[in-house]
Amino acid sequence: MTELATPTVRVSTRPAESRRDIGIKRRYAAERRFRAYGISAIVLGLFFLAVLLSTVIKNGYTAFQQTTITLPIEFSEKVIDPKNERATDPKQLMTANYPLLVRDALVKQLGLDATKRPLVKQATDMVSASARTQLRDIVVADPSVIGKTIPVTLLAEANIDSAFKGQIDLSVDESKRKVKDRQVAWMNQLADAGVLKKSFNTGIFSFGASSRPEAAGVGVALVGSLYMMLIVLVLSLPIGVAASIYLEEFAPKNRLTDLIEVNINNLAAVPSIVYGLLGLAVFVNFAGMPRSAALVGGFVLTLMTLPTIIIATRAALKAVPPSIRSAALGLGASKMQTIFHHVLPLAMPGILTGTIIGLAHALGETAPLLLIGMVAFVVDYPGSPMEPSTALPVQIYMWANEAERAFVERTSGAIIILLIFLVFMNLGAILLRRRFERRW
């Protein structure tokens, strides 16, 4: 080769300017363009992420504040129990005219003329209609308050809440907005008196579904989601780990295990709504389990998360080097002992990471839950997984369909709560991986 090559190598002696044009400029320009496309693709992707998150936060952070009105409510016996029947008829306290108490207190506070009906109506509209149940609960819990005057913190109505947060454009013609000029004046008057103020909104974490934005919260949905996550964790972790151990360590290479393998990979990519159909047909229709129950939701989400967990677990088991197995087997451990005493503990961080990611997916899943009837208007906390309940993402879906402006704020607030949960779960997974992952 060398003796052949030597004579052909000739050093170019031609001057640089006469070099054949190979379009280097054009090619470098193309190179720069290509690079710019790449950078702009990444920037665009990150831009969308930023827009998505910032709209949610911009719309939602105000949901964590709630305007309240603290009024000295006189629990007058004349209004609550005019005929003094409460000892004999327990229904009396449940059905009393509590809004009247609010009206009286408000009229007194604002110094209005109680005989001017429309005026008084506008004033009482500033207080949420949930005041009725709030006052009722106070009286029912402790009937001795009747006859006393107690300051009670009531929720402001959603539109007043929005106006006080500055979200309503007051320059629009009065007839076209829901908050009237007079109400705004009263609002400012109450705010100056320190009666009306913004405070941290604990209600969004504790209330259930409500048609009034100010009294709606994700508390009930959180409990439903919690039940489902517990069911998913309890079922999918052991089953997923057991299945992966069999497939990875024991299964003979044959048609059947090949089929299971293909099957699991496919199940991981089946649209989630198909799992909802499965749950509806098998669990609700065939097995007769209750609709809207967290139990059925948990089962459906378990089936949905299983492939994810199995795939992650198998990868984690595969990453444990064969030398560990050989050493254990060489010392006389049985195959089962090798796996359960040595391989599985070493693979555990990987398994848990996969499980947490699977759970995070299940927590945000909505579509299958819609089909098994979890789009329910649930006001009370479910006492057990068999009772009707709803889930956090489903609550978001239901609020997203509400027309009122204040629900946009609530929906974004609920999304923030959901995202915070997801961030914590994923951070946990990352930390777990950082802390325990071993490179062999």
Partner 1 sequence: MSTSLLLLIIVLIGFIAYFAGRARSFAQSGGKLANLHSLPGYHGSYVAIWAMLPAALVLAAWLIASPLYIDSSVRASLPDSVRSQGEATTQLALGQVKSVAAGLVRLNADEIAALENGSANLRETLAAKGVALAGEGEPYMIKAAQQFNAMRTYSRWLMSAVVLLVAVAGGIYAIRNITTRFRARNQVERVMLASLIVASSIAILTTIGIVASMLSEAGRFFSMVSPVEFFFGTVWDPRFAAAGSSGESGQFGLLPLLGGTLYIAFVAMLFAVPIGLFAAIYMAEYANPRLRSTAKPLLEVLAGIPTIVYGFFALVTVGPFLRDISTQLNGLITGNYQNFIQAQSVLTAGIVMGIMLIPFVSSLSDDIITQVPRALRDGSLGLGATRSETVKRVILPAALPGIVGALLLTASRAVGETMIVVLAAGVAARMQLTPFEPMTTVTVKIVHQLTGDLEFTSPQTLVAFALGITLFVITLCLNIYALYIVRKYREQYE
Q: Based on the shown chain and the rule CB under 8 A, indicate whether residue 413 belongs to the binding site for partner 1.
A: no
Provide, rounded to whole angstroms, the least separation between the CB of residue 242 and partner 1. 4
What is the x/- site pattern for partner 1, positions 92-121, by CB under 8 A? ------------------------------
Provide, rounded to whole angstroms, the least separation between the CB of residue 175 and partner 1. 23
How far is the first Cα of the chain from the last one, in angstroms, to the nearest whole number? Answer: 44
Q: Are 366 and 414 in contact (CB under 8 A)?
A: no
Dihedral over Cα of 310, 246, 279, 237: its sign? negative
Residues 211-270 that bind partner 1 (CB under 8 A): 238-240, 242-247, 250-251, 259-260, 262-267, 269-270
Determine which residue in the list 28, 205, 377, 424 makes contact with partner 1, applying CB under 8 A.
Answer: 28
Q: Based on the shown chain and the rule CB under 8 A, indicate whether residue 277 belongs to the binding site for partner 1.
A: yes
Determine which residue in the list 52, 234, 327, 420 makes contact with partner 1, applying CB under 8 A.
Answer: 52
Closest CA to 398 of 369, 422, 427, 430: 369
Residue 48 or 436: which CB sits closer to partner 1? 48
Q: Based on the shown chain and the rule CB under 8 A, indicate whether residue 286 belongs to the binding site for partner 1.
A: yes
Determine which residue in the list 274, 319, 324, 386 makes contact with partner 1, applying CB under 8 A.
Answer: 274
And the tokens for 299? 């089962």
Q: Other CB atoms closer than 10 Å to residue 436's CB: what's the count? A: 13
Determine which residue in the list 42, 170, 172, 431 makes contact with partner 1, applying CB under 8 A.
Answer: 42
Q: Which stretch binds partner 1 (CB under 8 A): 11-19, 31-39, 155-163, 323-331?
A: 31-39
Q: Other CB atoms closer than 10 Å to residue 298's CB: what's the count? A: 24
Dihedral over Cα of 370, 419, 160, 66: its sign? positive
Residues 420-439 that bind partner 1 (CB under 8 A): 422, 426
Provide, rounded to whole angstroms, the least separation between the CB of residue 37 and partner 1. 5
Determine which residue in the list 110, 119, 145, 273 makes contact with partner 1, applying CB under 8 A.
Answer: 273
d(CA 65, CA 164): 11
Partners of 388 in beta bridges? 293
Q: Based on the shown chain and the rule CB under 8 A, indicate whether residue 56 belongs to the binding site for partner 1.
A: yes
Provide, rounded to whole angstroms, the least separation between the CB of residue 382 and partner 1. 18
Residues 293-352 that bind partner 1 (CB under 8 A): 303, 306-307, 310, 334-336
DSSP state of 148: -
And the tokens for 228? 């489902």
Q: Based on the shown chain and the rule CB under 8 A, indicate whether residue 411 belongs to the binding site for partner 1.
A: yes
Q: CA dihedral in degrees (355, 360, 363, 364; nearest 10)? A: -140
Q: Are 404 and 213 in contact (CB under 8 A)?
A: yes
Provide, rounded to whole angstroms, the least separation between the CB of residue 181 and partner 1. 28
And the tokens for 396? 């978001």
H or E segment to which residue 132 belongs: helix 131-141
Residue 238 or 321: which CB sits closer to partner 1? 238
Strands 65-74 and 149-155 come out as antiparallel
Q: How many residues bind partner 1 (CB under 8 A)?
A: 87
